Amino acid sequence: MNKDIVFIVLTSFWFLFGLIGCLAAKHFKERGVIRCCIILSAVCCWLLWVVTFLMQLNPLIGPRVNQRVIYGMMSYWKNSYMQDE
């Protein structure tokens, strides 16, 4: 699935969650507190998701492997670069 489609779908999900929650809060006595809790939970859940999503798009840390280990992987794996030659 395309990353833009995933971003739009899940952002719209959390937006609709907050909107429907605010509309449902009109039926309760403490509607201000309920609206605040629903909007705060929607924003925090969206923020948690978007930070995780963006961290997976461009990771800052990659695996660090010794040069001997890389040579060993290239020489022992059947589909490696050295076996193709």
Return the amino acid letter for 58. N
Return the amino acid letter for 2. N
The predicted-structure confidence for 40-84, as pLDDT tens digits, reads as follows 999 999 999 999 998 888 777 777 888 888 787 777 776 655 555
Burial 13-52, CB ≥16 within 10 A → b, else e: ebeebbeebbeebeeeeeeeebbeebbeebeeebeeeeee
Q: What is the number of domains present in the chain? A: 1
Domain residue limits at 55: 3-84
The CA distances from residue 3 to 23, 50, 54, 56, in Å, are 30, 12, 10, 11
pTM above 0.85, yes or no: no
pLDDT at 32 over 70: yes
pLDDT at 3 over 90: no
pLDDT at 10 over 60: yes
